[in-house]
Every structure is written in C-alpha cells, then in structure tokens.
Chain A
Amino acid sequence: MPELSNLLRQRFAATENGAGAHPDPDVLTAYTEHCLPATERQAVVAHLSVCGPCREVVALSQPQIPELAAQAVVRPAPASVWRRLFTPALGIAGAVAAMAIIAVLVLQLPQKSVQQSALPRTAETQQAEATPAASQDQSPAIETGTLPERPAVPRSTSTANMDIAVPVPVKKAPVVELRAEATRNKIAAGSNAPAPPPSPERTLALTAAMQKKDYINTNFFAGNDADNVSGDDQRPAKLPVAPQPQPSSASGAFTVTNGKINAFAPSAVSRSNLRILTPNPPSVHFGLMLGKMATATAHTLHLHTPATNPALRASDLGYSALGGPGMFSNSLAKSQSTEVSAAPEKLESGSLAKSDALSAGAMGGASARSLDSASTLWKVAGGKLIKSAGPSQWEDAYPTSGFEFSVVNSHGNDVWAGGTHASIIHSRDGGLTWENVKLGDAATGTIVSILPEVLNVQVKTSDNQLWSSTDGGNTWTMQND
C-alpha cells in the first residue's frame, strides 16, 4: 500500500511537533530501560508518537548492539549441489534401492552356486541311495566341512542352467566315490571317527566357496525370517556360532529361536533329525519388506525349476535353505511328501531344537501338512478368519462360525482365534481341524487378545476379563474375578 504510506508520511509530518513539554533525560532513560510505571510510560509513548526529536533521542540512546551480535544474523552459506541432492527423501529412496539390489544379488548368487554344484550332488545322492548303509548317515562327510565336488565344478555355461535332475557327468564320479568312501569309513570307525581329509587345495577352494555362500544365506535368513531348515544336533565346540558365517555344509545344523536362525554350524545331520520350520511373518516393517522381496525372488527362482520337481532329500534341504533350486515352497513340500521323512504334527520353533523330528524315511502327509500349515498366514478380516492359500490369495478358514472373529494367534500349527460372545476356537494341526474352547459361563465380551505359550494360554476380553489356562485350553480360570 504505497499510496497509504505516503499519505501517512504527509499526515504525520503535518501533525508533528504538536507535543507539549519534552520529557527530561531521566524519564527518557527510564523509558528506554523499561523501568517507568505504566501510566508514566503511556504518557511518554504519547509524546514520542508526535515528537520527532524525542523519538530521535530515544532511538539514539538505545544501548548499542554489539557488533558480534549484529553480525550473528548472517545468510546461511549456499549448500553445494551435491549436498542439496542428499535430501532425506532421496536418501531413503537410495537406501531402499540399494537393499533391493543387495537382496537380488544375495538370492542370485546361491542359485548359481547350487546350479553349478547340482551335478556332483545329484551324483552323490544317487551313490548314497545305491548304498543304503551309507545313506543312513550322510553327515560325517558333511561334518568335515568338505563338499569336494562343489568347488570342483567348473563355471561352465552348459551347467549353469541345469537343474537338480541333470544327469551326472562321468568326470565327477571319482569325487562322489571319494565322499561315499569317507562315509563308509566313518560308519565303520564309529561316529567319532574323523573322516579322511580331502586334498588340501581342493578343501581350500571349497571352503572359500562355501564361506561365501553360507555367509550370504545366514545373513539373509537371519534377517528376514524366511523359511528355515533346522537340524537338531550338538554343535561342534570348535566352530563359532552364528551370526558369524561358518564353513558349514548345506546340511549343517540350524538353531532356531523366535523364528530366526541364530546358529549355523556344521553337524551330523541325518534324515532323522532334520526339521523344517516356517516361522511367522516378521513383525518388523523393514524385515517384512525384505522378506516379501525374498519370497518374491524365491518364487521366481522356483519357477525356473523344471516342471518335474527334483527329489527333496535331506541333503537337499540345506541347499533349499540356502536359496537354491530346492528352496521350499508349499507345492514343493507337498509334491515331495513321499521322499521326506515324517515329522511330528506339532512343529514349533521352540521345541525344534529339542526333538528328533525327522527320520531317514520319507516325510509323510502329516508332515507335509504341517509344513504347509506352518507357512500359512492367518488374519482376521471383516469378522472372518482367513488364511493364506497362496501368494496374495486368502481363503475362509472357518466359514461355519456363528460369531465374528476379532483376533487370531498362530504359533506353529497351534492356531487360536477368538471373536464375539467370548468365542474361541483352537486348532492343533494348522487349521485342518478345529475345536471350540469354552472359557466359562461368566465369560462375556469380545476376545481382544489370545496369548498362547505352550500349555499356558491367556485370553482377554473386551469386558476386561482375563482368562488363563495352564493345560492348553482344557480348563480356564478367570484371573480378575
């Protein structure tokens, strides 16, 4: 409003000097130092508003601003172009892109290595099957940390795309024989007898290759809660525990806690003590994101395998865990149920380290179902209990309920779901069969939380009732009665 500004100047100039007596220096000083009473201050302000000289005096008598303070208001130095590029949003985007690239690389490297080592392993398997006595325990050769055939495979383009079922080249036969012989020697000498050492140069190259592979996969699975392979066995004392990468073989033992691999050590894994664990999806956002990426990549890799899925053997499970062609998927586990030994119906990560789950025989249908249900995701949507039936596919898990579900909690195959009217259903087999759980006549409200811990189960309702059971849900007592 320049026009008004000029008018104001004109009018102020015309009305100036209409004030009476000027305040003395004492009063002006007191005004400047803000120690005048309010009434006196108002009078001084009224005078100053019409007296130019007094305004000038007051303005001049203000304490000087120190030069440093005056210079403190400086313009910020212009940021460089590179610095401007590193905005938080760009940094986050860059970090996500880098993680995606790393995830793809991590999943691609084991695939190539497994494909390259597919020939000798197949030969080894065939040889082992041909000698039933040796096949009872293949772990001694693995325990030595030597898979001599794996680093020996040249990176030829002809074998890079081969799947597990590719016939064994003749030139790899001696290696297999060497390993089978080592196995037989160990069986003959007893379980503690050391296996004959492989040739030094071969072992060196093999160790380097396996270190690389195992290291990558250890990090990957530990960080993403992806499908795990677990074997129950004692850990060799000389070998350090996870998360340090170990030169273990593909069939090394994994100790699983809270759905994560926290130990990765070579051990004597047999078909009788090999277990498969599919943990719950990770709760951490970043882990979930990376887990989804890994699942998607694994699914892609699985599509590259031949239509006739390769045999799923105990020795292959380790490779599956490493992200190779034998990587687990629901369809793979189901289709290969006749070759995987039976596992207990209840498959829990907590009990995984304690039990000898698998036998050397084929895994039965129940185990396949367990494997299937263990990887099933559960959730409540729209008052219905639904479970995952495939990638991005959900199906109604309990369509006949007469109430609306509000909460679900799965713990391995143990699935608890609750809803309105204090209704609870419980499945011990991953949702194949259900049983109604009766809390008590006094139970009211909607189930808001179910916390199962083996036999101890705690349930909370929307009416602030806290029910607990110490026998797996057979009897219940209300805690806040």
Chain B
Amino acid sequence: MSSGPRPAEVTALSLRVLYEKSGGERYGLTLQAFEVVLEQVAVKYVPQATPLQKLEFWRDLKLEELALARACAAGHDPAWQAFLTRFREKLYDIARGITKEDSSGRDLADSLYADLYGTSEREGRRVSRLNFYMGRGSLEGWLRTVLAQEFVNRYRKTKRLVSLEEQAEDGVQFSAAPAGPSSPLDSRLSAALDEALGQLSSEDRLVLASYYLDDRTLTEIGRVVGVHESTISRRLEKMLKSLRKQVIAGLVSRGMNRGQAEEALEADVRYLQVDVTRKLQENRPAAFQQDKGSD
C-alpha cells in the first residue's frame, strides 16, 4: 500500500512549477534563489500561513516580473537587458506624467533608475531597490508608485524650504493663525461632526477627504475607489445630506435647539478668516488705515 506524496514533496513540486512559470531561468535566476524570494514575500505578507496557503498566495503573485526584478537586483545582465527594454522609456513617461514637466520628470526617473540599479553597496554587493518589489502588483505599477512616492517626498522636503517670496507669489499673505481655545459652540459642533464622520465607512471617508481636503476631481476619486465618477457624485450628495442631518441631530442632542443647530452649521468657517483679517486691520496704525482708505 503506497501512501500519497508528502506535503514537502508537493510544495517542492509546486515551487518548481511556479519557477518555470516565472521564467526565472532565462534571467539567470536559479530555483533556489527563486524559492528564497518567494519565502521572503510570504514572510512579509502571510507570516502565519500554512504551506498550502502560501502556495495559494504565491500563485497570485506576478511571478514573471518578480523573477525579473530579483534577477536585476542580483545583477544578472540578461535581466537588466530585459528590464531596460521593457521599462526604461516607460519610466520616463511615468515620471513626466507625475511631474507634468519634462526636465523634472526626467530627473525624477533618473534618480529612481539609480536606486533601482543600486548605487550603495552592502557587504560588497550593490543594494538595488528592486529587492523591495514583492510581486503583489505589476512591476510597472510598482515603479509608478515608487516614482509617486519619490515625487511626494521631494515635494514635502522642498515645501519646507519655500521662501516667503514664493509663498507670496503663491498667494499666501498671512500664516495661519494659531489655533486658539475653541469656544463651547465650536467644540459641540466639532464633536457632532466627528461623531457623524465616525459613522461613515472608510471608503466614504476616503471619498470625502479626497474631494474636500485634497480637492480631487470626481474622475480622480472614481479611479482611486474603482467606481464611475457619476457614482462618486451621487455618493457625495447623499453623504452630505446624511451628514447634515446627523450633525444637526448631534447638536440637538448636545443641548441646542434646532434653530441654533441650523445657525451653527451655517456659520461658515471662512468667516473666521474674515474676522481675523478685520481684526488685523483694526490693529494697524492709524496711518495705514488712512492709506487703505485713500486707496
């Protein structure tokens, strides 16, 4: 009576199938190196998974691009040739698309290209950024995300160094006033609003934040969420109506009558800025006020 293959044999057989599917051999990647890569990916994302669950997880990876990236990181020339052929121009196009400008886009792509090749060495070996690619998404998408991260990081770094003249050119006249102690009305309104926002789903909150905070267009939000822009429009309208009802109800539950709640909602926060500006005008010397009046 013969027993079936053992789990270790099954796993080894499956790994070989995955290796052949990835085509790592033509990039100079050995089976052992490929198994190490797969194990590394599994440890990062499904550390508690059983061998069978790992196999299921590995099957969903972009195995061919994972093998290519890791072969590039290992310094195999065939892999680099294939990578340059497939992604060099795309890298520039993606960077130009992100920066909306050719020279800065080229600069961004070149900097990433250097990271991908590996300019630093650790233990005598180049450290390539491609070692961080795990194959969960496409290699092109990963490159796009990495470029976007690099661009955002650069922007955030340079933003701290923006001169006052540049800020003035950007229309920034006054720095934001430090947040003072909020009035009881503000606290009640904020609490009611936070409570209403807390009842939203994560996706609804993402839509609201993208629309009101990031000033994204409906099309952009739709692409991020994965629905049509008209759906986003309807959801926004519906959410605003629901939020208004909930905030008013929250204000009423906090001791306001309905009229006061409506009035509190209609107190546009922009009026606070106007008040600040008027306050500054009032505090100016009389000569400046006359100048302002004579203008």
Q: What is A's interface to B at a CB cutoff of 8 Å?
A: 1-16, 24-30, 32-36, 42, 45-46, 48-50, 52-53, 55-64
Quick one: which of A5, A49, A61 contacts B141, CB cutoff 8 A? A61
Chain B residues near A29: list those with CB within 8 A: 136-138, 141-142, 144-145
Task: Determine the interface band of chain B, counting residues with CB < 8 A from chain A.
Answer: 35 or more
A434 to chain B, nearest CB (A): 68
Binding-face segment, B22-30, B72-80, B266-274, B276-284? B266-274
Q: Complex Cα distance A411/B60, Å?
A: 78
Closest to B241 in A: A1
Please give, as numbers and ranges, the residues of chain B lying within 8 Å of A61 by CB-CB distance: 98, 141, 144-145, 147-148
- B252-274, CB < 8 A from A: 265-270
Rounded to whole angstroms, the CA-CA distance of A173 and B244 in the bound complex is: 101
Q: B158: CB under 8 A from chain A?
A: no
Of the residues B149, B189, B216, contact of A57 by C-beta under 8 Å: B149
Residues A45 and B213 in contact in the complex (CB < 8 Å), given A3-B267, A4-B247, A7-B269: no
Interface segment out of the listed B120-128, B164-172, B202-210: B202-210
Given A29-B138, A59-B220, also A2-B268 (CB < 8 A): yes
B97 at the interface (CB under 8 A from A): yes
Give the residues from 196 to 228 in chain B that come closer than 8 angstroms, CB to CB, to chain A: 197, 202-203, 205-206, 208-210, 212-214, 216, 220, 223-224, 226
Residues of A within 8 A of B210 (CB): 55, 59
B contact residues vs A (CB 8 Å cutoff): 60, 93-94, 97-98, 132-138, 141-142, 144-149, 151-152, 156, 189-190, 193-194, 197, 202-203, 205-206, 208-210, 212-214, 216, 220, 223-224, 226, 240, 243-244, 247, 265-270
Is A59 a contact partner of B224 (Cβ separation < 8 A)? yes
Nearest chain B CB to A88's CB is how many angstroms away? 28
> Which residue from A13, A26, A57 sits with its C-beta under 8 Å from B135?
A26
A33 to B142, CA, bound (A): 10
Bound-state CA distance A56–B216 (Å) is 10
B138 with A59: CB separation less than 8 A? no
Are the CB atoms of B208 and A1 closer together than 8 Å?
A: no
Partner of B269, one of A6, A12, A56, A64: A6
In whole angstroms, how far apart are the Cα atoms of A184 and B138 in the complex?
A: 105
Tell me whether A45 and B206 are in contact (CB under 8 A).
Answer: yes
Instruction: Please state if A8 and B136 are interface contacts (CB–CB under 8 Å).
Output: no
Contact call A4/B269, Cβ cutoff below 8 A: no
* Inter-chain contact B136/A64, CB cutoff 8 Å: no
What residues of chain A lie closer than 8 Å to B136, measured between beta carbons?
26-27, 29-30, 35-36
A to B CB contacts below 8 Å, 6 in the list? A4-B247, A13-B213, A25-B146, A55-B209, A58-B145, A59-B210
Contact: A56 with B134, CB < 8 Å? no
**Complex interface: chain B residues within 8 A of A11 (CB):** 190, 193-194, 197
Contact B240 A59 (CB under 8 A): no
The 9 closest A-B CB pairs, nearest first, are: A29-B137, A60-B148, A49-B205, A49-B206, A29-B141, A46-B202, A30-B137, A25-B145, A30-B136
Residue in contact with A49 in the complex, picked from B132, B133, B137, B209, CB distance below 8 Å = B209
